[in-house]
Structure 1
Amino acid sequence: MSKDMLSTRNVYFSYRTEDSEKLVLNDVSVSIKEGEFVVILGHNGSGKSTLAKHFNAILLPKDGDVFVEELNTKEENSIWNIRQKAGMVFQNPDNQIVATIVEEDVAFGPENLGVPPEEIRVRVDEALTAVNMIDYKEHGPHLLSGGQKQRVAIAGVLAMKPRCIILDEPTAMLDPSGRREVISTIKKLNREENITIVLITHYMEEAAQADRIIVMDSGNPIIEGTPREVFKEVEKLKTIGLDVPQMTELSYKLRQSGVALKEDILTIEEMVDEICRLK
């Protein structure tokens, strides 16, 4: 059994305003295994992005503990190591790109870690190759598409050799082609490099490709399981304002009309197979 890469124990967190406190995480205990690809779903305000920011110590819990492997994020002298183990990619790649040449941008993180120049050269080329952007290493980031910029942002995190990458809605600002590029890159890194992936997304088709899904509502995980297990809960998900993949939705509506289909259909191919089986 693989060990925990990330875990939280009874975590509480509030955002403080001038005259009140809003509880955003309410006694959250979750664990994510080494090498796992986990998606966190939830409507706006559910706590999913706040939880993600706890995973690499951008935020610290009011109560409870967050561990990155064996390191507690509350220990100030561990923050440096925590952020080397768990890298973070945000929604807008323009906010993460700091240089005017792609390869210089990817080198920025390792340079700040004090990595020797010859090792930086190797890391930059490896990271850009991993995200299929090596041919663009001498380009200006401003000339790239949204999907390409996000892949450069991922390469910048990869060059720091993290064990885990947390991505907070990295495809939210991209067109369908850019979204496919980024998700394909994430899956490749998980499968080929065994990098633990935590993906926050609003897109159910992206979530369907994960090993496991955690659904957040009002600061709590309310459903956990494989995509098939989670998306079978169509009515519960709709109650908290979430959709399901299109084929799951179609299957749900057809079953309501009396068509005998499986509950856990996720893809077009599975829907075609089921319909052919009915003939």
Structure 2
Amino acid sequence: MENNMVECSNVTYKYENTEENTFDLALDNININIKKGEFLVVLGRNGSGKSTLAKHINALMVPSSGTVMVDGLNTSDEKNLWDVRNKAGMVFQNPDNQLVATIVEEDVAFGPENLGVDPKEIRQRVDESLKRVGMYSYRKHAPHLLSGGQKQRVAIAGTLAMKPECIIFDESTAMLDPSGRKEIIRTIKDLNKNANMTIILITHYMEEAIDADRILVMDNGKIIIEGSPRIVFKEVETMKKIGLDVPQMTELAYELRTAGINIKEDILSIDEMVKELCQLK
């Protein structure tokens, strides 16, 4: 469908366990469509398959069976490789692994230069991308002197300079302190709302998922819950069973309900909780 950025049909990925001479299923018959302009969050504990799924969308991996289409391009077709990676950029967990130059603006220019983009156009893209992530005033700085959150914003600018339509953030906030995490989430939301970019955020932090359009919860290579944050986080027991938390306020609502207090179960934020408690008779 034209409106879909990503279409996964019966996607299975097996990797060989050489020690035991067996195959382990990392993705088990995944079927999802991700709409253009959607903000999708993928949750799951380590080994659930979420990073493997991310790498399939960027064609770093191709399915053992089934198909992944990115804006109509089949990722299993080698001749589509660069087009797929142009459409779906990726920002990884450790920004140090993505920074290649000694000056911020040179780092951001690296991708478009490799694509053979005209130098004038590169200049424009670099400036625009750095402004978009709030790092333009640091363009002459050395990346290794920046904070973790700033480095990650430079890495995002480097991805933006390639002009992707979709960005996959593979646990891009995992190595950051709380203020660095907030910076990145603010940037991600801005790209989604104001640049109309499709965002796929893979995270361990439940609070980062509250503003998503849709959440997928993965376990053992399967999608086990899917829906809006309110629908997904209501499933407190299922989430706990697979070793995941829920946002603090949802947890509190769950505990209060368990204690016999009549309170909504789909509360996500402090404001909602305060409002709900004030209405209790």
Whether the 8 Å contact between 1:12 and 1:61 is mirrored in structure 2 is yes
Alignment of structure 1 residues 36-115 onto 2, 5 Å: 36-115=38-117
Q: 1:236 Cα shift?
A: 0.9
* 2:3 is aligned with 1:3: yes
Q: 1:7 Cα shift?
A: 1.2
Q: Secondary structure at the match of 2:279?
A: helix
Rounded to whole Å, the distance in 2 between the matches of 1:84 and 1:109 is 10
**TM norm structure 2:** 0.98
Correspondent of 1:250 among 236, 249, 252: 252
Rounded to whole Å, the distance in 1 between the matches of 2:243 and 2:253 is 19
Q: 1:17 Cα shift?
A: 2.8
Whether the 8 Å contact between 1:97 and 1:105 is mirrored in structure 2 is yes
Alignment of structure 1 residues 1-279 onto 2, 5 Å: 3-18=3-18, 19-279=21-281
Whether the 8 Å contact between 1:2 and 1:33 is mirrored in structure 2 is no
CA-to-partner distance for each residue in 1:219-276, whole Å, 9 max, x for gaps? Answer: 1111110000100111111111110000000010011111111010000110000011
Q: Secondary structure at the match of 1:174?
A: coil
Q: Secondary structure at the match of 1:135?
A: helix
Rounded to whole Å, the distance in 2 between the matches of 1:2 and 1:259 is 47
Q: 1:208 Cα shift?
A: 1.0
Q: 1:91 Cα shift?
A: 0.2
Rounded to whole Å, the distance in 2 between the matches of 1:100 and 1:15 is 37
Rounded to whole Å, the distance in 1 between the matches of 2:176 and 2:15 is 29
Corresponding residue pairs, total:
279
Q: Secondary structure at the match of 1:166?
A: strand
Rounded to whole Å, the distance in 2 between the matches of 1:16 and 1:153 is 32
Rounded to whole Å, the distance in 1 between the matches of 2:141 and 2:109 is 14
Q: 1:88 Cα shift?
A: 0.5
Over the matched positions of the two proteins, sequence identity in percent amounts to 66
Whether the 8 Å contact between 1:39 and 1:210 is mirrored in structure 2 is yes
- 4+ long deviations beyond 6 Å: none
CA-to-partner distance for each residue in 1:28-48, whole Å, 9 max, x for gaps? Answer: 111100000000001111100
Q: Residue type matched to 2:256 in 1?
A: L
Whether the 8 Å contact between 2:2 and 2:71 is mirrored in structure 1 is no
Q: Secondary structure at the match of 1:270?
A: helix
Rounded to whole Å, the distance in 1 between the matches of 2:7 and 2:206 is 24
Q: Secondary structure at the match of 2:89?
A: strand
CA RMSD of aligned residues (A): 1.0
Rounded to whole Å, the distance in 2 between the matches of 1:208 and 1:24 is 26
Q: 1:2 Cα shift?
A: 7.1
Q: Residue type matched to 2:31 in 1?
A: S
Q: Secondary structure at the match of 1:15?
A: strand
